[in-house]
A and B are shown apart, each in its own frame.
Chain A
Amino acid sequence: MYSSTKYKSLLMFVTGLVCFQLYLGAAHAAKLWSTSDSYLGSGEFYGPGAFTAKQPLFEIELNNLSFFTDVNFVTPFVNNAGAEPNICGEKEFKGEVDGKLSNGIAVNENADICSAVIAGTHMLIGVVDGGPHQGQQYNVTMDDGNIVMTMDLALDLGIGEKGVIKLPFYGTTGSLEVPASLQTLKGEKNGVDQAGKFAAGTKLEGRIGDFNNDGWIDGTLVAVGHMPLDSPIYPGQPYAMHRNFETDIPIKGVLYGNVKGLIANKHVTLW
């Protein structure tokens, strides 16, 4: 039978393991935010098209980021209709607070996005259900260490189906090129080939690291895209954005942000 000393050591080890697992579980629920208080602000929106006035980017907080590998995470889809918590934008925008856009599509309430004025028009913005991502937001770390973020985003003018503009979102901390308009890409002559001050072909660069030296991962995502051809405003015209973000993911974390360190230190992995 175990002596009391050995029993105590075993108990301490199991307790440590449980705490470590609890830490792991807690660390899974990470957070990413991009607000006016973030390092360098929330960022800037360019365009669409020939709209060149300076536009601060709408604020966003991604809650309950769930790591499915050590470097990749998903923001799971959560929607509890009109009950709290609701996204910031719904409370700011006109109409009922019901967890939906004005065409009835549910929004992911883990992606807390404030409303925004884009090109002079006030919009409710949400990560929406019903698209390829099923309301979730995915984040994948590439071999070069850059992250790619994708989701089904929608802009809502508040007037029903006609005013809901679906924008498949692709952002990266790497680099992207501002595209030409959909009209130009189709070979038509009336396209506007710019996203605000950036002409089509301009390369936008993101970054990832710890630029404010607070020990947590932060950086800048860049994203480009087109307004759909059936959009009531700026149809087919390109847009771009610089999204500055911060996280509560440690840059030298046990499991995140420092994979080489993890291997070198031979920390316990549970998968």
Chain B
Amino acid sequence: MSIRKPFLYQKLKSIVLFFSGFCSRVVLTILLPRFFLYFSCLISGAAFASYSMSFTGGTFYGPGKMPDVGMPNGHISVIELNENLLGETPFFNNGALKPNIGSSKNSDVWGSGVLSDGEQYNEYMDGGVVDVGNGALKLLSLVTRDGKKQGRQLYQLDKECNWEIKTDLAMDPGFEHGIIFAKDLVITTGIIWAPSSLQSQMKIPGGVDSAGSLPSGVPALGKVGDYDLDGKLDGTLVGAANIPVDHIFYPGAAVVQTRDFKTDIPLTSMDAAVFSILSAENYKYVFAKILKGKTQTPEQRKFYQDNMGIYLSDLRHRLLNSIRHLDRQKQKEDVSSLIVKISSMVKSLEKINQEEMRSVFESGQELKELLAQLGNISKTMKSSLSYQCS
């Protein structure tokens, strides 16, 4: 004979089980990471402060053969960082109540606080509406809660002092089947390479190996520093992903984004100068690829030939930016030898004119010497950076 437990007991038991499951989920996914973050900062003596970031431009390449388009403006209203630029944007969502992200009001298709599949997104992050393919699709760029980070966005400096952002991105066209997810996405101020299509990676036919005007395998370069000379951190973030192979839009195709950003994070002149040099040093990866001419596809070779002038000009711009910040630092410490060395590199760059650029692809001797100099200066200056790069 079985003994039936009283009804009230059954009810109480189910309520307790529900809340313990709920609480354990909240603890594991929200409270515990924040605890470790704060605890580590407590031990290191670092303090958290809240900042914001604005997206001011950039380019969306792809997917596939779709034409390149400009990135919209956007905003991250809360970034909690310690003194090593380590931190996160915590998850926040209050549904249809204010505040809401501005871009969701651009169209009737986007509900307040939820994606088209009903999942919540982080209302601290408004990535703007990307007009993909020049009118083909309008995608609202958001951080979804449906990912390992549970809607948070994480920030850190990598070992080469590029600033990394880890996120679970969703690009929502306004209906569920059209949402493009890029989970565990890493966006950086360093360098990324345009991926090949998933079909090519899986060695099956049907892939398109370009992201807009970028053939697969060519770089997109970010940067970090203070390029508008306002005393605050700014730069360019770059990221790449593939549309899932079972998606309805351009399945498997590669997408690359560059996003210019500004923040209200204060940056000293010395740190800005060092960041500029370290960002310039990322060109060593680009030129290493270029100088290995035999491994290039015809599309890649043409791309490098067409963009060589832009690379050299941008490299020069980064070096000049470093000089400008070192100039501001002159009164505090003796940086004159550094200024002389960097100025010498700028002059070398100016000498590589259009005629000689063809020879870059033949032997690249001037570039190799320049990169060697840049490496030496970078090593010297890195020790002056007030941030610790992991």
Q: Are A50 and B177 in contact (CB under 8 A)?
A: no
A158 to B173, CA, bound (A): 16
Asked if A52 is an interface residue, CB under 8 A from chain B, the answer is yes
Asked if A235 is an interface residue, CB under 8 A from chain B, the answer is yes
Instruction: Tell me the B158-176 residues at the A interface (CB within 8 Å).
Output: 173-175
Q: Are B65 and A51 in contact (CB under 8 A)?
A: yes
- For chain B, what secondary structure do more than half of its interface residues adopt (helix, strand, loop), or is it mixed? loop
Instruction: Tell me the A30-67 residues at the B interface (CB within 8 Å).
Output: 48-53
Asked if B12 is an interface residue, CB under 8 A from chain A, the answer is no
A55 nearest in chain B by CB position: B65
A-B residue pair count with CB separations less than 8 angstroms? 64
- Residues of B contacting A122 with CB < 8 Å? 248, 251
A76 to B215, CA, bound (A): 47
CB distance from B213 to the nearest CB of A (A): 12
CB distance from A52 to the nearest CB of B (A): 7
Q: Are A49 and B177 in contact (CB under 8 A)?
A: no
Interface residues on B, range: 20 to 34
Q: Are A121 and B135 in contact (CB under 8 A)?
A: no
A121 to B63, CA, bound (A): 11
- Residues of A contacting B133 with CB < 8 Å? 49-51, 119, 234
Choose among A119, A158, A190, A191 the residue that contacts B136 (Cβ–Cβ < 8 A).
A119
Binary A-proximity of B41-71 (CB < 8 A = 1, otherwise 0): 0000000000000000000000111110000
- For chain A, what secondary structure do more than half of its interface residues adopt (helix, strand, loop), or is it mixed? loop
From known contacts A120-B208, A232-B178, A234-B136, infer whether A159 and B250 are also in contact, taking CB-CB under 8 Å. no
A157 to B177, CA, bound (A): 10
Instruction: Tell me the B309-352 residues at the A interface (CB within 8 Å).
Output: none
Asked if A27 is an interface residue, CB under 8 A from chain B, the answer is no
Q: Are B66 and A162 in contact (CB under 8 A)?
A: no
- Residues of B contacting A50 with CB < 8 Å? 67, 133-136
Q: Are A163 and B135 in contact (CB under 8 A)?
A: no
Q: Are B137 and A233 in contact (CB under 8 A)?
A: yes
- Residues of A contacting B135 with CB < 8 Å? 49-50, 181, 190-192, 234-237
- Residues of A contacting B137 with CB < 8 Å? 232-233
- Residues of A contacting B136 with CB < 8 Å? 48-51, 119, 233-234, 237
Choose among A51, A162, A192, A236 the residue that contacts B175 (Cβ–Cβ < 8 A).
A162
Asked if B278 is an interface residue, CB under 8 A from chain A, the answer is no
B131 nearest in chain A by CB position: A190
Q: Are A52 and B251 in contact (CB under 8 A)?
A: no
- Residues of B contacting A232 with CB < 8 Å? 137, 173-175, 178
A190 to B136, CA, bound (A): 12
B132 nearest in chain A by CB position: A233
- Residues of B contacting A48 with CB < 8 Å? 136
A50 to B67, CA, bound (A): 7
Q: Are A120 and B177 in contact (CB under 8 A)?
A: no
- Residues of B contacting A49 with CB < 8 Å? 133-136
Q: Are A53 and B175 in contact (CB under 8 A)?
A: no
- Residues of A contacting B250 with CB < 8 Å? 120-121
A157 to B175, CA, bound (A): 13
CB distance from B308 to the nearest CB of A (A): 25
- Residues of A contacting B134 with CB < 8 Å? 49-50, 192
- Residues of B contacting A119 with CB < 8 Å? 66, 133, 136
Asked if B253 is an interface residue, CB under 8 A from chain A, the answer is yes
CB distance from A157 to the nearest CB of B (A): 5
Q: Are A120 and B65 in contact (CB under 8 A)?
A: yes
CB distance from B75 to the nearest CB of A (A): 23
Q: Are B208 and A163 in contact (CB under 8 A)?
A: no
Instruction: Tell me the A154-174 residues at the B interface (CB within 8 Å).
Output: 157-159, 162-163
Instruction: Tell me the A210-239 residues at the B interface (CB within 8 Å).
Output: 232-237
Instruction: Tell me the A132-182 residues at the B interface (CB within 8 Å).
Output: 157-159, 162-163, 181
- Residues of A contacting B67 with CB < 8 Å? 50-52
